[in-house]
Amino acid sequence: MSPRTRPEWPIARDGFSYRLKTMPELAEVEFFRRQWEVGIGKRVERVHVHATARIYRSVGARVVVEALTGTSLQHSEAQAKQMLFRFDNDRWLGIHLGMSGSLIAAAPEMVPGKHDHLVLYLADCALIFSDPRMFGKVALHRGVDVPGWWAALPAPILSSGFTESAVGDFCARRPRSSIKAVLLMQERFPGIGNWMADEILWRAGIHPRCPAGKLASGTRRTALYTAIREVTADALREIAGVGTAAVPRHLSAQLPDHWLFNHRWKDGGTCPRSGTALVRETIAGRTTCYCPKCQSWSWE
């Protein structure tokens, strides 16, 4: 392993790993976007890439180097699980973090490690994209306007375009699918992932195997819609709101103990509301945790 400079700035953490052990859903993505904000207004002096890394399967690493070297970072945005960074000269960099990606800033002397597939060296810091499993992806775009794939993203959950009737209609179109499977569909629920889906259903008191058709109207639809918006807003506040000064090694440590999140992986974990033993089983192909008492099975 090559020697690496310990990053003292802007984030001081122990050890050599620049990665945070968290898997990115909407709030974590927004958190990671902010880690690169320190580079806004600064020029990219040099770009490091691991040219054969799978994250370059859509756009070659060399294209990224050529497009970004010498430009300045102007602006960034996160939406759903996507991020978009605008540079001058009409260059745009899109990033999806996949299952294990993370962004972080470090001192400009940092030496890229095995999983640091993209590093933008600015005058006084380095912006790093790390991804051990390489399910993440980068995209490049040139033009005055945002790329088409970005413009085509569905209305964000906290925007006025995300309506209760749209949620109900979407459920009505998949009447026999489990609500757990439906909540993971990015085209209607942008940015929701496995743990957020479980948190939403737990708060709403809905069993994850409940057929989506049963939630297409009435009070259950309202409960579902409300929980989606509340969990999204709360997750953004608790996770994305963490500054860049003292970042915990596990972002989940940020979440309050009365959430399902902090109990879901523990063997023998109990529901923070009812004290009942939590259940873990595979639903829609994903590990799902729920409270058998709070989340009613009888949806007829």
Partner DNA sequence: CCCCATGTTCGACA
Partner DNA sequence: GTGTCGAACATGGG
Active-site residues, by number, are: 24-25, 81, 286
Q: Which stretch binds DNA (CB under 7 A): 60-68, 121-129, 156-164, 279-287?
A: 279-287
Contact present, 90 and 75 (Cβ < 8 Å): no
SS3 content of the chain, % helix, strand, coil (to 5): 30, 20, 50
In sequence order, the β-bridge partners of residue 79 are 82
Q: Which stretch binds DNA (CB under 7 A): 67-75, 85-93, 176-184, 219-227?
A: 176-184
232 binds DNA (CB under 7 A): no
Q: How far is the CB of 235 from DNA (least distance, A)?
A: 10
Among 174, 229, 273, 293, binds DNA (CB under 7 A): 174
Helices in the chain by DSSP H: which ranges? Answer: 26-35, 61-68, 148-151, 164-172, 179-183, 194-204, 218-235
Element (H, E) at 221: helix 218-235
150 binds DNA (CB under 7 A): no
For the chain, the farthest-separated pair of C-alpha atoms sits apart, in whole angstroms, at 62
Q: How far is the CB of 165 from DNA (least distance, A)?
A: 17
Structure tokens at 28: 């974590």
250 burial class (0-12, 13-18, 19+ CB within 10 angstroms)?
exposed
Task: With CB under 7 A as the rule, give the number of residues binding DNA.
Answer: 33
Q: How far is the CB of 96 from DNA (least distance, A)?
A: 6
Please list, residue by residue across 89-108, b when 16 or more beta carbons sit within 10 angstroms of its beta carbon and e when fewer do.
eebbbbbbbbebbbbbbbeb
54 binds DNA (CB under 7 A): yes
- Spell out, one character per residue from 14 to 43, where the chain touches DNA: x when CB under 7 A holds, - when not: --------xxxx------------------
Among 9, 143, 265, 270, binds DNA (CB under 7 A): 265
284 binds DNA (CB under 7 A): yes
Q: How far is the CB of 232 from DNA (least distance, A)?
A: 13
Among 69, 177, 226, 244, binds DNA (CB under 7 A): 177
Determine the Cα–Cα distance for residues 231 and 237; give it in Å rounded to an integer.
10
Contact present, 70 and 80 (Cβ < 8 Å): no
Contact present, 129 and 117 (Cβ < 8 Å): yes
260 binds DNA (CB under 7 A): no
Q: List residues binding DNA (CB under 7 A).
A: 22-25, 54, 80-81, 96, 98-99, 114-115, 132-135, 173-174, 176-178, 181, 184, 186, 193-195, 252, 265, 284-287
